Structure 1
Amino acid sequence: MQNTLPRRALLSAGLVAAAAPLAAPALAEAAPELTWRLGSGFPKTLDILFGASESFARIVGEATDGRFKIQPGTATEIAPNEGLLDAVGSGKVEIAHASSNLGFAKDPAFGLATATPFGLNARGQSAWWLQGGAAELFAEVFAKHGLVALPGGNTGAQMGGWFRKEIKTTADLQGLKFRITGLGAQVMAKLGVSPQATAGPDLYAALESKTLDGAEWIGPHDDDKLGLQKVAPSYHFPGFWEGGAMMLFWFNAEKWKALPKAYRAVLQAAAAQVGAEVQAKYDARNPQALRRLVAGGAQLRPFPQEVMEAALKAANDLYGELSAKSPDFKRIYEAMKTFRNEEYLWFQVAEYTYDNFMIRARARG
């Protein structure tokens, strides 16, 4: 499974169209009728990310003529969010859609799958998984925990979060109570931040009561729903800990292997289509959401260069420490770093120069 799954599983979005006629002719009449549950690691208020599970279930149902039913629900309806991947690995639930950060406590290598601080952007992350060998590397790690994973949508580069006071220097981070999780939390801790794992629905109250000094969430479309600009107006960017956050569909490995090949192909195609839709929705909806946030009082501010440089050093120090403890982390991190350097060699030639020109042209009107 480990040698063949990634290349067959990680379909490009362009292949999804070929899945449409699978329903009646490609699936044998003897294909089993199945009902699987899918636990989303995201609340229903995050319409794009929770909606990904609903779209996935719809596509699979339509492609199998209703024989393979998937029932999406929030993690709280199935298992505690922090135990969602354990629930899939044990077979309590068949599928999850979630960030790999949920598995960080069990294995630091999980922290590299969704996003690495100062790692790849969204396009680079996709290229690494689909063509750069990441799928094979992670398949070996996930298999140890009874899991199979497929890419399930990228948010793109996230924002750096909301702060009650502007961050002008690294000294402003000292003792800051800041909502952040995963590898990003460990990087920020090295800068003197006190990471907090506050849930999204509780962020407004925590910032208003000064229980929190700041909070990162996702980006304009999702942040717009929280109203945080009213209590923490300094909206910093970029979220260097998630320069391209890729969510994943997680499957119980034994149940995955037991599926008919046609069903596995449908799941692969559905994940690819949903993955393309997630990033397209964020790219299409973030601009107007950002306008609304600024109109509502958000003060857009880039992180100072001093903070970015200090965070990069802290991240590199952290990766050295984790690599010394975990061979899997070291192996995957080194592969990501090599791929990242090659990607930016290419991006700086055409992509960056084109985007930079167009951004300046837009600014000139």
Structure 2
Amino acid sequence: MARRRNVLGGAGAAVAVAATASAFPKPAIAQNAPELKWRLTSSFPKSLDTIYGAAEVLAKAVADMTDNRFQIQVFAAGEIVPGLQAADAVTNGTVEMCHTASYYYVGKDPAFAFGTDVPFGLNSRMRNAWLLEGGGQELLNKFYQKYNIHSIPCGNTGCQMGGWFRKEIRTPADLDGLKMRIGGFAGRVLQRLGLVPQQIAAGDIYPALEKGTIDAAEWVGPYDDEKLGFYKVAPNYYYPGFWEGGPTLHLFINAGKWAELPKSYQAILVNAAHQANTIMQARYDRLNPAALKRLVASGAQLRPFSPEILEAAFKAAQEVYAETAAQNPDFKTLFESMAAFRSDEYLWWQVAEYSFDSYSIRLRAKA
């Protein structure tokens, strides 16, 4: 009997504890969080699973952190609007948000370039530092207000490759008259060296190279480039992509919709974007080495840009920056902020980061 009383007593205690627990108030997010369904249009096709996939990582994280009360449906480029019209769809409220590269919109204003990257800019870690700790993101969002956009960093490819060329290029003179698929602000810089920039969608690059309509094309790096088969028609694979040392992808969010979000949802969206930002580059860092090996085995010829080409491009970049800054206050503000930050960062980088990497690379070569 005593044992039975103890068992019953234990059961009663358990019921009491459960009743007490149910009396505690639920977290505020569970009580007050609205159910939202947003649409996100990507600037990228699903076949580019690493870039496109960053938006899927974001959407899953937001759903997980809100018990599916805040759902974001991701659409590939072309499903709602073409990839290069993603920002317009956010500005005019066609969708709540998009995942895109800010420099796609330099035709609207050259200051858009600083949201992604500019020639001889920052590497990916420096860009994260400038955006998140160096005031860069605040400056960008002040600029984006003109377009009814609030932005959050959401992905990085790491340093990109310099592209695929049908013929070898050894000097700046070899760029004169060369037709190259290249996006962003880099095309304006390389025009100074006689290059003719072309804006061509991903699916049209290979046939343009094959037919000789263009002479060269840059895309991203080994993992993505391998899928597009460029090595078959333009085997000379140059590096580094000095115009994209650490290009950032962004979420562009309709400013009105952002302001309407509960503060908890804003915080969740920011943290989900940080997760996607980290995972995207981690995936590229994991996938690019094996893809590069496969490309070389398939006939790609790895070639560095010559010092002469890099020096000529750097000089051209400084000229374009000075001219554009003189005419565009937003561009001037962003460039001066980034350039000052870059100077201090490389002062530190040469002490520890570069020294460690350089020594490790030499060790690998010896092995």
Give SS of 1:29's match: helix
| CA distance in structure 2 between the aligned counterparts of 1:145 and 1:199, rounded to whole angstroms | 24
Q: Does the CA contact (< 8 Å) of 1:184 and 1:241 recur in 2?
A: yes
Q: Does the CA contact (< 8 Å) of 1:84 and 1:102 recur in 2?
A: no
Are 2:77 and 1:75 equivalent residues in the alignment? yes
Higher RCO (C-alpha under 8 Å, 6+ residues apart):
1
How many angstroms does 1:78 deviate by? 1.5
Give the letter aligned to residue 115 of structure 1: D
| CA distance in structure 2 between the aligned counterparts of 1:65 and 1:118, rounded to whole angstroms | 43
1:261 to 255, 260, 263: 263
**Structure 2, unaligned stretches of length 5 or more?**
1-25
Are 2:261 and 1:224 equivalent residues in the alignment? no
Normalised TM-score (structure 2): 0.92
| CA distance in structure 1 between the aligned counterparts of 2:59 and 2:352, rounded to whole angstroms | 38
Residues 26 and 153 of structure 1: is their aligned pair in 2 closer, same or farther, counting only changes over 3 Å?
A: farther
How many angstroms does 1:198 deviate by? 1.1
Give SS of 2:251's match: strand
- Give the match for residue 278 of structure 1: 280
1:195 to 197, 204, 207: 197
Q: Show CA shifts across 1:31-88 (max 9, x none).
A: 2111100011111111001011111111111111111111100131112222211110
Give the letter aligned to residue 289 of structure 1: A
- Give the match for residue 84 of structure 1: 86
1:249 to 244, 248, 251: 251
Give the letter aligned to residue 250 of structure 1: F
| CA distance in structure 1 between the aligned counterparts of 2:171 and 2:28, rounded to whole angstroms | 60
- Give the match for residue 159 of structure 1: 161
- Indicate the percent of aligned positions where both proteins have the same amino acid: 54
| CA distance in structure 1 between the aligned counterparts of 2:157 and 2:206, rounded to whole angstroms | 22
1:124 to 116, 123, 126: 126
Give the letter aligned to residue 313 of structure 2: A
Give the letter aligned to residue 229 of structure 1: Y
Give SS of 1:78's match: coil
- Give the match for residue 46 of structure 1: 48
- Give the match for residue 309 of structure 1: 311
Give SS of 2:185's match: helix
| CA distance in structure 2 between the aligned counterparts of 1:363 and 1:43, rounded to whole angstroms | 38
- Give the match for residue 332 of structure 1: 334
Q: Does the CA contact (< 8 Å) of 2:43 and 2:82 recur in 1?
A: no
- Give the match for residue 209 of structure 1: 211
Give SS of 1:75's match: coil
- Greater Rg over alpha carbons, structure: 2
Of stretches 107-116 and 291-300 in structure 1, the one that deviates more from structure 2 is: 107-116
**Structure 1, unaligned stretches of length 5 or more?**
1-23
| CA distance in structure 1 between the aligned counterparts of 2:141 and 2:57, rounded to whole angstroms | 25
| CA distance in structure 2 between the aligned counterparts of 1:304 and 1:260, rounded to whole angstroms | 52
Q: Does the CA contact (< 8 Å) of 2:90 and 2:253 recur in 1?
A: yes
How many angstroms does 1:104 deviate by? 1.2
| CA distance in structure 2 between the aligned counterparts of 1:26 and 1:42, rounded to whole angstroms | 36
Q: Does the CA contact (< 8 Å) of 1:96 and 1:250 recur in 2?
A: yes
- Give the match for residue 25 of structure 1: 27
How many angstroms does 1:25 deviate by? 3.2
Give the letter aligned to residue 214 of structure 1: A
Give SS of 1:127's match: helix
- Give the match for residue 12 of structure 1: none
Give the letter aligned to residue 240 of structure 2: P
Q: Report the number of matched residues.
A: 342
Give the letter aligned to residue 196 of structure 2: S
Q: Show CA shifts across 1:192-223 (max 9, x none).
A: 01101111111111111101100000001101
Are 2:137 and 1:135 equivalent residues in the alignment? yes
Give SS of 1:142's match: helix
| CA distance in structure 1 between the aligned counterparts of 2:66 and 2:282, rounded to whole angstroms | 25
Give SS of 2:313's match: helix
